[in-house]
Amino acid sequence: MLLDNFKPSRLRAWTGAVSLAVAVAVVPAQTSWAQSAPQGGGLPDLTQLVEQVGPAVVNIRTMERARAAQLPPGVDEEMQEFFRRFFGQPLPGGPRQGPPGDESQQPQRRGVGSGFILSADGFVMTNAHVVDGADEVLVTLPDKREFKAKVIGTPDKRTDIAVLKVDATGLPFVRVGDANKLKVGEWVLAIGSPFGLDNTVTAGIVSAKQRDTGDYLPFIQTDVAINPGNSGGPLINMRGEVVGINSQIYSRSGGFMGISFAIPIDEAMRVADQLRTTGRVTRGRIGVQIDQVSKDVAESLGLGRAQGALVRSVESGSPAERAGLEAGDIILRFDGKQVERATDLPRMVGNTKPGTRSSLQVFRRGSTRDLQVQVAEIEPEQAQRRASANGAESRPKGTTISQSIGLAVADLTEAQKKDLKLKGGVRVEAATDAAARAGIREGDVIVAIGNTEISNIREFDSAVSKLDRSKPVPVLLRRGELATYLLIRPGPAK
């Protein structure tokens, strides 16, 4: 179970917005970190690194007006008192203490978190969920100076990034590294406040890169001990550079289990730059719904290997439709960059400035073709309108049955073509044997067999007659507004 934003189910009732207190110091370019590196196979000495990094780590406390004087579900008075005595503060989300009638007027502590200073003039980066819903944000430096912070623009919940501003100058600030240069097995460390324990340093290695746990974020996976309270703090390499922001954990119990995730700093800085300059984040969109390309489908279509993004549907009136993209196309390149996996495409398009004309290379019917698309600005998701496969129109008269692959199909009516926005295809009237085992069902519309486009039952019969029955048959079909490939394995002729 992946627990986003450090809110494990078993701790959610009493951890509130607890996050990380973390920061990183300016490291002179000439500083050598050779003595921090492992020597002779031993463990690295992190003492100098921590001393250099510490001054720019900040503690973030969020405040909110008292909403209700009641304990969270599952938390009794005994646990409330334990939390107050052990941590020196009330249980986040619990009842507030104060004079009668005064609770609604004064901000009360909501939680603690972390961040790091981006520039000497007081810009601070943290997670969006650390400051989400806060009425007041306080930033405390390691030298005990405290500032009231302003949240810049609208925190970006898609990437979980927020930027704060404090009224100060001459502050220590971090040196940003290059997350792309990280190597699996490389040592990294974090500084933070797990469970409210300030200035806690933990270290480990990079376990993996490019973990797909979000549409716009290829996370860095580490085994650095990260717990509720570490949110918003920096992940630091052995050169004293910030390479990520600790953001998520994987846990069954709510505590550390050896798997943690950090947002790559280059992705975070892209968002932070927009928040600082415009106050909001804009992303590109082209209006397609996509899916992975399986190995079997890639081989059966002659694509060679599983790559690209399979277009399952094209939004009406979208940039993709105007560019000529069709359901069933496989997008191989965007703006000259190879699309290895379907999850690559949203990031590439999202990072493109709206209004930009970009190139697309798509695979269609056994060959590649180049298209041009003008990227639009992303907007809130619209509910998809699904076409009905059982309309009021009468069934067409023309039908054909293919015993070899277990399909009975019929020509589409003009009304069905208009409703589905198709030029042609055949509607499945019944699916048995091999077709049924492949997942094809009544109401599906077949638009291609292999790399042969199907407009009517005559073309369907011709394509089926030419099939090699010893090989899987890739069938491109529409189901409602979505397109997908299914593989029929007909078996040898009897």
Q: Which amino acid is at 172?
A: P
Q: Is 468 a catalytic residue?
A: no
Euclidean distance between CA atoms 44 and 238, whole angstroms:
9
Dihedral in degrees, nearest 10, Cα atoms 362, 368, 371, 373: 10
Residues in binding site: 129, 160, 229-231
Q: Which of 114, 193, 207, 231 is catalytic?
A: 231
The Cβ of residue 353 has, within 10 Å, a number of other Cβ atoms equal to 11
Distances (CA, A) of 81 to 40, 69, 73, 319, 463: 50, 15, 16, 58, 75
Nearest by Cα to 162 from 298, 283, 263, 55: 263
R_g of the chain, CA atoms, integer Å: 28
* 380 CB-near residues (< 8 Å, 6+ apart): none
Q: Which of 156, 160, 344, 444 is catalytic?
A: 160
User: Strand, helix or coil at 434?
Assistant: helix
Closest to 243 (Cα-Cα) out of 351, 116, 350: 116
- Which of 36, 114, 129, 329 is catalytic? The answer is 129
| Residue 129 among the catalytic residues | yes
Closest CA to 460 of 469, 468, 450: 450
Is 160 designated active site? Answer: yes
Sign of CA dihedral 411, 414, 418, 423: positive
From the number of C-beta atoms within 10 Å of its C-beta (0-12, 13-18, 19+), residue 211 rates as middle
List CB contacts of 7: < 8 A, sequence separation 6 or more. Answer: 15, 129, 228
Residues annotated within a binding site for substrate: 129, 160, 229-231
Residues known to be catalytic: 129, 160, 231
